[in-house]
Each structure stands twice: as C-alpha cells, then as structure tokens.
C-alpha cells in the first residue's frame, strides 16, 4: 500500500512505492490530467492509491466534488467559496436536460432526487444520507441542499399562494441557524460540530412544490452543558448571548462584560457561528416573539450562573455541604433568573429525599460534594434538554404542513460523524453505533443486496468482496448478549456498579467476539471496539450513570414551582404524569435508558430510510487541522478504507444501478412499442455483461414487455450520433425474472425515447386540433364568400337595372331629338333652291402654297372636320393630316369623287354629303350646342346662308 504524506517518503517502503509508481505510470501520465476525471469509476486500475491521487489532483485544482458510481464524494475546502453555491448555479443544474452531464456537485444529487419525485416511480419518497467524520462538512452540505430545494421547489411567481410558500421556505431555512445555535458546538475536530442528529423531512405537494417540513432529532449531547473537554466549547448559544447582548440586556440577565463562567470555557475564541443577531432574526421568523426570546436567554443566563455554584466538602456527613466563598451570589442570581426560591434551590441540590417502606416514609439525607455537583449538573441538563425539545416542537409547528397538503417528501439525514477522542464515553458509543447502522444500510443497499439481487434474478455475476460490519453490530446490539444489553442490565440492577466491574463483565461475556479489543496499557477501566472506521477505546467510568440518566423527583418538583412563564410551560404541574412516573410497589416498570431510547429512535429512522430511495454523499476531511489547500493522504486514505468506497466503485462501474419492476417498466415505457419494427427476429444481438441473450425466458414475459424490449434497438439507433460506427448495437439492459436492470446511460436513452414519443403524440393532437380549426375556419370562409357573392350579385343587378332604365330614358330622348332634327332638316330642304357656290378669292389662293391652299379649302368647306384636326396629335403635318381627314370621312378608296385628286375639287368644295351618300359618316367630335349653324368659318360670296346650304350643292357644277 502506498504510504505517502504530501509527497514525502516514509522510509522503509521506498522500493514498494517505486514499483507501484512504475506500474501506474502509464495511467497517471501527468498530474495535470488527473483533475479532469470527474468519476472515480473511470480510473484504471481502481485502487485506493489511484483514487487517492485523483482526489488529491482535483483538490489541488479547487474541485471538491467527484462521483464514485452511486455515491458523491465531497471534500471539505475549509474556505468560503460563494460562487460554488450561488443561486444562478442552482438554476443551471435545475434547468439542465441531463444534470449528470454537468460537473459533479451536491446540486446534481438534489436535482436527481427532485426529478425522481416528479417521475412518481416507486418508491416516490427520496432520502439523502450525508455521512462522514466530524468536521467533514455534513452540516454545510445539508444547509446548501435545503437552499437548493427552496429555490427549485418554489411555486411560480403568478401563483396566489406565492407569499405563503415563500414564508414557509424562509422558515425552513431559518430553522438551520436556530438548530445550530442550540445544538452545535466547537470540538477538537470541528468548530461547528453537530451534537445531535437530525432528519429533516421536506414535504412536497402533488405539483412538487415545497409546502412544509418536519425536523426529528436524535440524542442531544446535553452533558456538554455542564462538562466540556479541554480546548472545546459549550453550545454556541451561550457564547452568542455573552458577546451579542446589549447593555440593557446584560443588566437584565446579569451578564457583565468580562464575567467568568465555569461552563463557558475558551470565550476568547471568536468563531463565525457567534452571530447573535442572526439567531434572533431566525427565531423571529419562526414565530418566536421578542419577549419569548428574552425569556429564553434569561433562562440560559441562569444556567451559566448555576454553573458557578460550587460546594465544599462537609466535615460531618450528617450536615449538608456548604457553599464555597463567593458562590452564594451565583445562587441568588440563578434563582432570580429562573424565578425560583433561593432556599429551595439550594436545599434541592444539598439534600436528597428518600421514600422507603410500605408506607412510603420520607427521609432526608445530606448529599456529598460529588452528589451535589451531580444534582446541579442534572438540573442544568434537564432544563436545557426540555428547552431544546420545545424549540424543535416550535419549529415543527411553524414549518410543518398539514398531512393532506403534501404527498411526498425528500429526507435529509445529518447525523454526527464517527468520533474517536482521548476520552470517549456513552455519547461517543451511541454516535459510533449510529454510524455503524448507517454503514450497514449503505452496504446492504449498494453492495450486498445488489449482488444478491443479481443472483436471485438470474444474472450471472462475479461477486466482489466487501467489508461487512455485521460482526461489529453483533457486538454492540446482538442478542442475547451485547455491550448495550450488558450496560442496560447494570442499570436495572439495584446495586452500585464500579467501572472495573463493568469492564470485567464485558470482557468475560464477549470474549469470543472478533471486534472486541483489549487495552492493556490503559490505566483506567475501558474496553476497545474495532469499528469500521477504526478502533475506539471507551472508558467505563460513569457509563452506567449516564445510561440511567436519573432525574431526581425533587428537581422536577422544584422546576414546577417556578414562576417563570417558560419554565412553567416546560414543566407543567401534572399529578397524573407524576403518578405514572413513580408507581408504587413491585408493579414499577423498568425505566427506559439512554441506550434503549436511542436504539428505538434509530430503528425508526432506518425504517424510514428503507421505505425511500436513498442517495449517499460521502464527506471527506482532507486534514485534521482544518487548513485549506492541505491534503494529507494518510488521513484521507483511512477514510476511504473505512467507508468501503473502492468496493462501491467496483460494483457500480460493472453492474446495473437502475432496477425497475416489470409492471412499472411497462407502465412507463409502453409508448415505445410504436418503434417496434414489423419484422422482429428477437434480441439476441443485445447482450448483458456475461454475453448472454438479453432475455433468457422471453416466452414468460408479458406481451407488452416483449414489444418494448424489441423496440430498444430502434431507440438506440435513433439516439446514435452520425459519427458512431454502424456496428451491432448492444443494449445495456438485462431482463431478470421480476425486474429490469439497466445502466444510467440506458435509462437516459429510454427517457429520451419516451420524451420523443410523447412529443409525437402531442404533435398528433396538435395537428388534429389545427386541422379541425382550419376546417372550421374554411367552412366559415366559404359561407362568408357565398353570402358576400349573393349580396354583391343583388347589388349589381340592382345597379344594372338602374343603368338600364337610365339608358332607356336617354335612348328615347336621343331618338326623339334625332327624329325632330330630321323633321326640321326635311322641312328646310323642301323649301330651298340650289345656288352656285362662289369661288374662293384668288388673293388668298395666290398667297399660299398649293398644298396649303388645298387644305384651306377643305377646312372652309369642312369646318366640322377642322375640329377633329385641331384635336389631333401635335406635330401632324402634310400627308399625315390628309390621312386623318381621309380616316375621318371614311371615303372609299376606289371612288374618284371622294378623293382630293385635283385642285379643282379643293377649290370648288365638296358636293352635298346628303345628296351623294357613300356610307355612314361619323364625326368624332363634340356636338355643337347650336341647333342651326348660320356662320361659316370663312366669309362667302354666296347668297345662300346656313349649314344646310351645303347639302344643296350636289346640283351645283364644280368649278375647275
């Protein structure tokens, strides 16, 4: 095994390390490439040394999260990194289609649990077990996960209940500062060590929105109130009230600056957790008003003053122990803060009341100095334990939702890590016992149960050896004899028990246990237990008394007489409860010990974990000095060995972490049957890890399941990228007798195929709806067109009828006018005689050219034609004008009488148009408004006047 600390050799194992480096040289290559391996299952070979080097390389590059198959390994950076837990990063992991493709993070685990709740695959409830040594970062991890769920599980902004949900989320987040202030303390290994275990149940409704939460606590280390180890501190809340109280509060609580308290060691150490305002604000958000807060802090101040009460040894055993010098003031102050009678408080600590005999006679016996100190400490522990339980109940009443409003939950388990101190007692025994149970749960769920399930389902599997801690659990809780049973038996025996006697009994009764060690060099009575994380030596001195946890009835009666409102609520005067606690005679039931109550609560917790889908986060502590950028390989190596990480990597890399029953598989992926090819020849090409057919007993499966399995090659073929080789596709899926086994990649393919089929179904629905909508719109358009056509045709017919009527009127008027004009013309022709047409003046003819003279003569005789020529196109001259005149007159081309052949015709004018008609003549000019034209364009010598005179010129000879 490689033994190296920060790259320095340790001496005699140099050759072994050199050979190992030579074997791993090809894999390691360069240190710069190791930090890119984000999954420890990808390293080759998978050994403790290679995993250690990979984690160290990533830690050096400030990469603190690494996947280890089914587990997330989290290294404590020991420095604040705000951007690593920003809200924008939470949204990025939540909005990613496949969060597994992003960098490893605790948000990946949180998003996976949230999507598992959304998918409603049994079991729906999820749980996250955050484990590790003290100081590895478990509390911080749980806190960040709660913030993540508060962000991603928040209702939309448009929801009416958004303010209510936001208030619930804020209360859930505010429960952390309060729980840490009253339940965490500074230890040798961690400045913010949880001295109790808690299981936070985040409650979600049907829409996967957070509606509330519930907190369950386990085994508060209440002995820390009165006793603290060297270099350790009391609970944070005591230091917060001493450092953060105002002047008025100091006067009210009798906490002057610079005051020394026996139960407040190392007050000069300033920690980040000593933030009094944050705790008060969180308590206010949880519904604890300011007067109640002041009452709580006043009681805590009374406990600090109670710790300064010291007794001196009494010379006479019949007389009670007297107070030491300067202690009476502390008694008076403590009694005033707790609102107790000073004499009764002092008498309860000095004198013990004994009831004996059938008649229950009462005897008063003075206590020794040790007994007085024990009763004083018991009084403080009793008050603080009741106060802590009351705070938990207040938090639950503030954040817990009604049982009908939530359907699923995500559990966060944050328990104390494995502890091994120089002086270990009952608290460390219970803490390590809980870690052993959780380690067994992990081993049973991911190692042993996985291999056994493969064998039951008919999957051939090469079994991997793993470290089983069942022998250690048999030593601690086995039947009929174990360490816990022996300690409980000593408590039930009504006899004084010595530490040496308990050690001898444990060693003799459990001599054959392999996990029981011996501490021959220890001067104090003790025994050694070989835990999965290493050997721990437990002192037997005071072990039985702590397990009994005796509460003298005088102390309870004293606190019931307090006038303080908080103590009256914590210790109500209930005679019925008193009679149940102290039955008379031999019918008295055995009292519950600390170990018995802790074991019962732990069994209840494990039942909850077994009913959920667990997810594991392994927190690793890089060094014991809490220094950033310091990676001690030996310490990390021991933690990797203890948690069985390498065995987990082996099985997760080679096996199938996803297991779904046939029924759930068919119900979720029956849509994929549509991808089944018509000519299916079986699934022999898809093989499991042992190169066997995909389904050995295909005939016994349901037809739906067979159709889905036959469609898997098509799903993989569809998901294949164009660059992949076109070889035979192997399906990473195995069909067992009752379950379907698959890898994460296969699950992604199935989900992708299912999403595509749902998208196709949605498109079909959309196409049908759009077709229906377009058809309806087309029918409406056609109806509108028909209506418009009918209206337009009716309007057109109406308009045409009006035009036809108007045209008829105009036609009748025109015919009437034309007939009238014809009648007038005939009358005028009938009364006129024919006269010769005078010749045009010679002076005018001689002064103009011949062509112009001819044209002028035509204009004179044909002045209506001049109107047409005047309106003709500009620039028409000469022959073109003649063509225009010819076109206007429409004279036949073969008749010499209608052509301008000789100048004589031009000079003499035109014969009567009416006398010699050659066809219909139409003048395309506007008609003169004058009914009779009596003015010629040129003065004429002819005595005949009027327009109709032209019509009489047919009998007139033409002058040449």
Interval 573-610: pLDDT, tens = 864 544 334 444 444 555 688 999 999 999 999 999 98
Question: 162 or 253: which carries more pLDDT confidence?
Answer: 253
| pTM assigned to the model | 0.68
Residue 676: the pLDDT is 66
Structure confidence at residue 903 (pLDDT): 42
How far apart CA 67 and CA 890 sit, in angstroms, is 108
Tokens of 150: 């508060």
For the sheet containing 526-531, what is the strand order?
516-517, 526-531, 534-539
Task: Indicate if the pLDDT at residue 289 is higher than 90.
Answer: yes
**3-state secondary structure (DSSP) of residue 68:** strand
Task: Supply the pLDDT for residue 114.
Answer: 93
Task: Quote the pLDDT of residue 635.
Answer: 87
451 pLDDT band, cuts 50/70/90, is: confident
Report whether pLDDT(855) > 70. Answer: no
User: What is the pLDDT at residue 752?
Assistant: 83
pLDDT recorded at residue 710? 77
Residues 780 and 879 in one domain: no
Per-position DSSP letters for 98-153, written without gaps between them: -GGGS---HHHHHHHHHHHHHHTPSS--EEEEEEESTTSSHHHHHHHHHHHHHHHT
Residues 829 and 869 in one domain: no
Return the closest-CA partner of residue 689 out of 648, 730, 736: 730
- Residue 882 belongs to a domain: yes
Greater confidence (74 vs 167) lies with 74
In a domain, 348, yes or no: no
- Is 866 annotated to bind ligand? no
Which of 71 and 833 is assigned the larger pLDDT? 71
Residue-wise DSSP of 162-190: HHHHHHHHHHHHHHHHHHHHHHEE--SS-
Q: For tokens 């073929």, what's the residue?
A: 717
Domain boundary residue among 835, 864, 894? Answer: 835
pLDDT of residue 914: 45
Higher pLDDT, 727 or 389: 389
Dihedral sign (CA 259, 264, 265, 270): negative
Q: Work out the angle between the directed axes of helices 369-399 and 342-350 (0-180°, nearest 10).
A: 120
Mind listing the pLDDT tens digit for each residue in 675-724? 766 544 334 333 344 333 344 344 445 677 777 877 777 777 766 655 55
Same domain, 800 and 695: yes
Mean pLDDT over all residues of the chain?
78
Q: What is the DSSP string of 380-391?
A: HHHHHHHHHHHH
Answer whether 309's CB lies under 8 Å from 334's CB: yes
pLDDT digits (tens, 9 = 90+) for 836-847: 555 544 444 455
Note the pLDDT of residue 696. 39
How many angstroms separate the first and last alpha carbons of the chain? Answer: 148
- C-alpha distances (whole Å) from 734 to each of 103, 659, 690 are 29, 10, 10
**148 part of a folded domain:** no
C-alpha pair distances (Å), 595 with each of 436, 438, 472, 491: 15, 17, 17, 11
Are 783 and 828 in the same domain? yes
Mean pLDDT of 624-652: 82
Least confident among 204-218, 462-476, 825-839, 920-934: 920-934
Residue 86 belongs to a domain: no
Q: Which residue has the higher pLDDT, 360 or 638?
A: 638
Residues 791 and 720 in one domain: yes
Same domain flag for 917 and 877: yes
Residue 522's pLDDT is what? 77
Conformational region of residue 67, where left means phi above 0, alpha means psi within -120 to 50, and beta covers everything else: beta
**At a CB cut-off of 8 Å and minimum separation 6, what does 587 contact?**
none
What is the rounded distance in angstroms from the CA atom of residue 410 to the CA atom of residue 149?
9
Is residue 911 very low, low, confident or very high in pLDDT (cuts 50, 70, 90)? very low
pLDDT at 770 over 90: yes
Q: Is 132 a known ligand-binding residue?
A: yes
Does the annotation flag 135 for ligand binding?
yes
- Reported confidence tier of residue 123, pLDDT bands at 50, 70, 90: confident
Annotated binding residue at 133? yes
- The answer to the question of residue 663 being in a domain is yes
pLDDT of residue 683: 40
The pLDDT of residue 510 is above 70: yes
**pLDDT at residue 808, rounded to an integer:** 93
> Helices (DSSP H) in 831-936: which residue ranges?
842-847, 850-861, 863-870, 879-889, 903-908
* 326-335, 417-426, 862-871: range with highest mean pLDDT: 326-335
Q: What pLDDT, on a 0 to 100 scale, did the predictor assign at position 782? A: 95
Angle between helices 290-307 and 369-399 (to 10 degrees): 160
Contact 74, 620 (CB under 8 A): yes
Helix (H, G, I), strand (E, B) or coil at 637: helix
Q: Domain check: are 668 and 762 in the same one?
A: yes
Instruction: Say which residues have a Cβ less than 8 Å from residue 540's Cβ, sequence separation at least 6.
Output: 499, 500, 502, 503, 506, 525, 526, 527
* Of 150-154, 255-259, 477-481, 858-862, minimum mean pLDDT range: 858-862
Residue 175 has pLDDT above 80, yes or no: yes
pLDDT exceeds 60 at position 944: no
User: Which residue, of 782, 809, 835, is where some domain finishes?
Assistant: 835
Above 60 in pLDDT, residue 875? no
Residue 54 lies in a domain: no
**Residue 936: predicted pLDDT:** 46
C-alpha to C-alpha distance for 328 and 440, rounded to whole angstroms: 52
Residue pointed to by tokens 């989290």: 74
775 shares its domain with 862: no
Q: Check the annotation: does 212 bind a ligand.
A: no
Q: What mean pLDDT do residues 234-240 have?
A: 94
Please indicate, yes or no, whether residues 902 and 787 belong to a single structural domain of this protein: no
pLDDT of the residue at 340: 94
pLDDT of residue 264: 93
pLDDT interval class at 832 (50, 70, 90): low
694 with 796, same domain: the answer is yes
How many structural domains compose the chain? 3
CA distances from 851 to 308, 354, 895 (A): 149, 164, 22
Residue 369 in domain? no
Range with the largest mean pLDDT of 286-300, 343-357, 457-471: 286-300
Residue 948 exposure: Cα atoms within 13 Å on the Cβ side: 14
Is the pLDDT score of 895 beyond 50? no
Higher-confidence position of 784 and 670: 784
Q: Domain range for residue 913?
A: 850-952
CA distance 306 to 263: 9
Q: What pLDDT is recorded for position 906?
A: 43
The phi, psi pair for 530, rounded to 5°, reads -85, 90
In a domain, 24, yes or no: yes
Per-residue pLDDT for 2 more than 70? no
Residues 6+ apart with CB under 8 A from 819: none
Query: Pairing between strand 71-75 and 613-620?
Result: parallel
CA distance 253 to 339: 12
Please say if the pLDDT value at position 764 is more than 90. yes
Query: What's the CA angle centered on 198, arms 197 and 201, to 5 degrees?
Result: 160
Query: Does the pLDDT value for residue 727 go beyond 50?
Result: no
The sign of the CA dihedral 376, 381, 384, 390 is negative
Task: Name the residue with tokens 């009488």.
Answer: 897
Average pLDDT over residues 519-541: 87
Query: Of 777, 809, 835, which residue constitutes the final position of a domain?
Result: 835
Q: Is 138 annotated as a binding residue?
A: yes
Per the model's pLDDT, the better-predicted residue between 172 and 346 turns out to be 346
Question: Are residues 798 and 858 located together in one domain of the fold?
Answer: no
Reported as a single tens digit per residue, the pLDDT across 262-276 is 999 988 888 888 899
Q: What is the pLDDT of residue 164?
A: 61
Check pLDDT > 90 for residue 792: yes
Are residue 876 and residue 810 in the same domain, yes or no? no
Q: How far is CA 568 from CA 157, 384, 386, in A?
A: 44, 14, 12
């Amino acid at each position: 095994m490689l033994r190296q600390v920060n790259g320095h050799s340790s001496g005699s194992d140099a050759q072994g390390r050199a050979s190992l480096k030579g074997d791993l040289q090809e894999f390691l290559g360069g240190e710069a490439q190791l930090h890119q391996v984000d999954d420890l299952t990808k390293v080759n070979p998978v050994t403790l040394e290679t995993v250690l080097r990979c984690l160290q390389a990533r830690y050096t590059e400030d990469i603190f999260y690494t996947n280890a198959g089914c587990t997330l390994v989290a290294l404590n950076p020991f420095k604040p990194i705000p951007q690593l837990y920003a809200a924008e990063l939470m949204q990025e992991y939540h909005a990613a289609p496949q969060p597994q493709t992003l960098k490893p993070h605790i948000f990946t685990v949180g998003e996976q649990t949230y999507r598992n709740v959304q998918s409603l695959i049994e079991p729906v409830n999820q749980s996250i077990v955050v484990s590790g040594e003290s100081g590895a970062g478990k509390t911080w991890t749980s806190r960040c996960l709660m913030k993540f769920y508060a962000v991603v599980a928040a209702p939309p902004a448009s929801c009416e209940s958004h303010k209510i949900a936001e208030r619930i989320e804020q209360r859930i987040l505010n429960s952390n500062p309060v729980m840490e202030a009253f339940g965490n303390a500074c230890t040798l290994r961690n400045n913010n060590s949880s001295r109790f275990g808690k299981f936070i149940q985040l409650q979600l409704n049907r829409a996967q929105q957070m509606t509330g939460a519930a907190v369950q606590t386990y085994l508060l280390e209440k002995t820390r109130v009165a006793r603290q180890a060297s270099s350790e501190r009391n609970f944070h809340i005591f230091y917060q009230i001493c450092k953060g109280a105002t002047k008025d509060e100091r006067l009210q609580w009798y906490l002057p600056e610079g005051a020394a308290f026996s139960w407040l060691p190392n007050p000069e150490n300033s920690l980040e957790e000593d933030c009094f305002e944050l705790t008060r604000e969180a308590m206010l958000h949880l519904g604890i008003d300011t007067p109640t807060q002041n009452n709580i802090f006043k009681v805590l101040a009374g406990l600090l003053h109670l710790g300064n009460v010291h007794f001196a040894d009494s010379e006479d055993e019949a007389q009670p122990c007297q107070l030491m010098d300067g202690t009476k003031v502390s008694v008076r102050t403590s009694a005033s803060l707790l609102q107790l009678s000073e004499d009764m408080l002092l008498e309860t600590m000095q004198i013990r009341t004994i009831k004996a005999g059938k008649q229950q006679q009462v005897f008063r016996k003075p206590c020794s100095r040790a007994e007085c100190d024990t009763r004083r400490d018991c009084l403080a522990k009793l008050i603080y334990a009741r106060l802590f339980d009351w705070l938990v109940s207040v938090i639950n009443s503030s954040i817990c939702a009604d049982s009908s409003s939530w359907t699923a939950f995500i559990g966060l388990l944050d328990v104390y890590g494995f502890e091994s101190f120089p002086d270990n007692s009952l608290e460390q025994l219970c803490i390590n016992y809980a870690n052993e149970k959780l380690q067994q749960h992990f081993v049973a769920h991911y190692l042993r149960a996985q291999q056994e399930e493969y064998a039951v389902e008919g999957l051939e599997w090469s079994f991997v050896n793993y470290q089983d801690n069942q022998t250690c659990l048999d030593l601690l809780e086995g039947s009929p004899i174990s360490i816990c049973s022996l300690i409980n038996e000593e408590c039930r025996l009504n006899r004084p028990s010595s530490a040496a006697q308990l050690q001898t009994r444990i060693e003799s009764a459990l001599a054959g246990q392999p996990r029981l060690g011996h501490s021959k060099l220890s001067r104090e009575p003790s025994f050694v237990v070989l835990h999965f994380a290493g050997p721990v030596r437990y002192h037997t001195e005071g072990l039985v008394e702590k397990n009994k946890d005796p509460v003298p009835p005088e102390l309870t009666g004293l606190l019931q007489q307090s006038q303080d409102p908080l103590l009256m609520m914590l210790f109500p005067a209930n005679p019925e409860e008193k009679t149940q606690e102290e039955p008379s005679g031999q019918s008295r039931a055995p009292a519950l010990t600390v170990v018995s109550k802790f074991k019962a609560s732990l069994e209840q917790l494990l039942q909850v974990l077994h009913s959920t889908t667990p997810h594991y986060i392994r927190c690793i502590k890089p060094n014991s000095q809490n220094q950033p950028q310091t990676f001690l390989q030996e310490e990390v190596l021991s933690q990797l060995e203890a948690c069985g990480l390498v065995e987990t990597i082996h099985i997760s890399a080679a096996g199938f972490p996803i297991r779904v029953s046939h029924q759930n598989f068919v119900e979720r992926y029956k849509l994929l049957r549509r991808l089944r090819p018509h000519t299916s020849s079986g699934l022999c090409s898809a093989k499991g890890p042992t190169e066997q057919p995909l389904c050995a007993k295909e005939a016994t499966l349901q037809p739906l399941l067979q159709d889905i399995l036959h469609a898997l090659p098509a799903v993989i073929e569809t998901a294949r990228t164009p660059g992949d080789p076109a070889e035979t596709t192997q399906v990473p899926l195995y069909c067992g007798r009752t379950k379907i086994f698959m890898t994460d990649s296969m699950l992604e393919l199935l989900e992708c195929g299912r999403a595509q089929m749902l998208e196709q179904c949605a498109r079909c629905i959309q196409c049908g709806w759009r077709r229906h909508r377009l058809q309806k719109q087309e029918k409406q358009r056609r109806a509108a067109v028909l209506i418009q056509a009918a209206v337009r045709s009716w309007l057109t017919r109406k308009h045409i009828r009006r035009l036809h009527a108007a045209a008829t009127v105009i036609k009748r008027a025109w015919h009437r006018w034309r007939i009238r004009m014809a009648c007038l013309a005939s009358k005028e022709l009938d009364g006129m005689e024919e006269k010769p047409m005078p010749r045009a003046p010679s002076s005018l003819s001689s002064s103009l050219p011949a062509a112009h003279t001819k044209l002028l003569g035509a204009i004179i005789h044909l002045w209506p034609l001049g109107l047409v020529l005047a309106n003709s196109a500009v620039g028409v001259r000469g022959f073109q004008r003649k063509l225009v005149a010819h076109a206007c007159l429409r004279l036949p081309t073969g008749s010499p009488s209608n052509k301008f052949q000789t100048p004589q015709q031009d000079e003499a004018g035109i014969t009567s148009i009416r006398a010699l008609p050659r066809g219909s003549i139409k003048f395309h000019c506007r008609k003169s408004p004058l009914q009779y034209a009596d003015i010629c364009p040129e003065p004429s010598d002819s005595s005949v006047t009027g327009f109709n005179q032209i019509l009489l010129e047919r009998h007139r000879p033409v002058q040449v």
